[in-house]
Amino acid sequence: MGALRVELEVADRHGPRFVALQALVDTGATYTWAPGSLLRALGHQPDEDRQFVFSDGRARVYRLGWVPVCLEGRLRPTPIVFGDEGKEPLLGVVTLEEFGLAVDPVGCHLVPVPGLLKAARGVA
Q: What does the H/E/C string look like for 15-71?
A: CCCEEEEEEEECCCCCCEEEEHHHHHHCCCCCCEEEEEECCCCCEEEEEEEEEEEEE
Band the pLDDT of 123: cuts 50, 70, 90.
low
Measured CA to CA in angstroms, residue 107 lies from 7, 27, 34 at distances of 17, 16, 26
Structural domain boundaries enclosing 28:
5-112
117 versus 7: the higher-pLDDT residue is 7
Pairing of strands 48-53, 90-91: unpaired
pTM for the model:
0.89
Question: What Cα–Cα distance (Å) separates residue 3 from each residue in 58, 61, 109, 111, 114?
Answer: 24, 26, 10, 16, 24
Considering all CA atoms of the chain, what is the largest pairwise distance in Å, rounded to the nearest integer? Answer: 50
| Residue 121 lies inside a defined structural domain of this protein | no
Quote the pLDDT of residue 1.
Answer: 55
CATH assignment at residue 35:
2.40.70.10
Residue 119 lies in a domain: no
pLDDT of residue 120: 59
Q: Is residue 120 part of a domain?
A: no
DSSP conformation class of 76: E
- State the chain's mean pLDDT as an integer: 93
Whether the predicted pLDDT of 31 surpasses 70: yes
Bridge partners, residue 8, by sequence: 21
CB-CB contact of 39 with 67 (8 Å):
yes
Count of the separate structural domains present in the chain? 1
Instruction: Please determine, for residue 45, whether its predicted confidence score (pLDDT) is greater than 90.
Output: yes
- Is residue 81 assigned to a domain? yes
Instruction: Flag whether 39 is in a domain.
Output: yes
Residue 64 placed within a domain: yes
The larger pLDDT score, comparing residue 54 to residue 123, is at 54
Residue 117 lies in a domain: no
Q: Does residue 106 lie within any of the structural domains? A: yes
Q: What is the pLDDT of residues 66-109, one digit of tens each?
A: 999 999 999 999 999 999 999 999 999 999 999 999 999 899 99
pLDDT of residue 23: 98
